[in-house]
């Protein structure tokens, strides 16, 4: 099966739909027309840039280049986590904790998949390593951002209750256990919902891309099942890790709630 190449004119026709949506948004005074156009422009530029970089990586197939690219993706994901939080930790702690959680979870699961499950040789084959890590980081980033934001917001809103439990003699982990569980549930909800509806309601991008590229449907399905399981594991472990280290940071060694460790709250 020959892959149909899309021209700039073809993409322009698709862009007309976004422009039409922006016009409707402007007519309804939704206040999101600018954000829609900026997001569309950023999406286009970033994808074109990524295509150029991937072309170079595929040609070089160098482990050093793959590792550098992986860390650029990780650090960018960490910045996205911080920017999505309504009440981040003071300093750069939200960034550091988010990066640490995503690094340990996403990189571990990706390496496990490359070395053990797929057993691709060499392991740094860019056609496998970069897309797999990208999907892992993208989904883990969403879960980590949601869970950390939910935790910090919930702790601040329930600070009086938490401090009351501490006064009654509970340790920090006991006093904030409800907030921890709620944050983890929030972080896991997107991937659980995605797995529950994949195949019935939606066909994921990777599976669709493989089918459009000519892969047999069952091969595309098997890879998509693999990806969903890997994403679920990476997201879950990343969320649990991020929530616990963030919660621990909000208390000192004497089990006192430190609201001054939340950005903008020094009382």
**pLDDT digits (tens), the chain, 267 positions:** 566 788 889 999 999 999 999 999 999 988 889 999 999 999 999 999 988 888 888 887 788 888 999 999 999 999 999 988 888 998 899 999 999 999 999 999 999 999 999 888 888 888 889 889 999 999 999 999 999 999 999 999 999 999 999 999 999 999 999 999 999 999 999 999 988 888 777 777 777 777 777 778 888 888 889 999 999 999 999 999 999 999 999 999 999 999 888 886 444
**262, 87 contact by CB (below 8 A):** yes
Say whether both 8 and 85 belong to one domain.
Answer: no
Residues in the chain: 267
Extended beta strands in the chain, E state: none
Cα torsion at 170, 100, 195, 40 (round to 10°)? Answer: 120
Domain count, the chain: 2
Q: What's the whole-model pTM score?
A: 0.84
- Which domain range does residue 36 map to? 1-60
Q: Based on the domain organization, do 140 and 192 belong to the same domain?
A: yes
130 and 43 in one domain?
no
- From its phi and psi, is residue 255 left (phi > 0), alpha (psi between -120 and 50) or beta? left
For residue 7, being part of any structural domain is answered with: yes
């Amino acid at each position: 099966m020959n892959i149909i190449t899309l021209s700039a004119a073809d993409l322009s026709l698709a862009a007309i739909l976004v422009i039409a949506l922006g016009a409707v948004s402007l007519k309804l005074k939704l206040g999101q027309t600018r954000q829609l156009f900026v997001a569309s422009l950023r999406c286009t530029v970033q994808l074109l840039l990524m295509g150029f970089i991937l072309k170079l990586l595929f040609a070089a197939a160098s482990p050093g280049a793959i590792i550098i690219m992986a860390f650029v993706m990780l650090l960018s994901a960490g910045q996205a986590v911080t920017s999505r939080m309504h009440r981040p930790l003071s300093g750069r702690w939200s960034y550091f904790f988010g990066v640490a959680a995503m690094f340990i979870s996403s990189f571990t699961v990706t390496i496990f998949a490359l070395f053990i499950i797929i057993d691709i040789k060499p392991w740094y084959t860019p056609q496998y390593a970069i897309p797999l890590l990208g999907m892992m980081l993208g989904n883990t980033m969403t879960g980590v951002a949601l869970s950390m934001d939910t935790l910090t917001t919930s702790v601040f809103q329930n600070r009086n209750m938490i401090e009351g439990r501490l006064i009654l003699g509970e340790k920090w982990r006991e006093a904030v256990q409800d907030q921890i569980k709620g944050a983890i549930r929030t972080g896991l909800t997107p991937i659980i919902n995605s797995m529950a509806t994949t195949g019935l309601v939606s066909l994921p991008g990777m599976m669709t891309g493989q089918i459009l590229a000519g892969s047999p449907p069952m091969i595309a399905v098997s890879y998509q099942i693999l990806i969903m399981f890997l994403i679920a594991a990476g997201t879950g472990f990343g969320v649990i890790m991020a929530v616990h280290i963030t919660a621990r940071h909000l208390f000192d060694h004497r089990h006192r709630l430190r609201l001054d460790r939340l950005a903008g709250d020094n009382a």
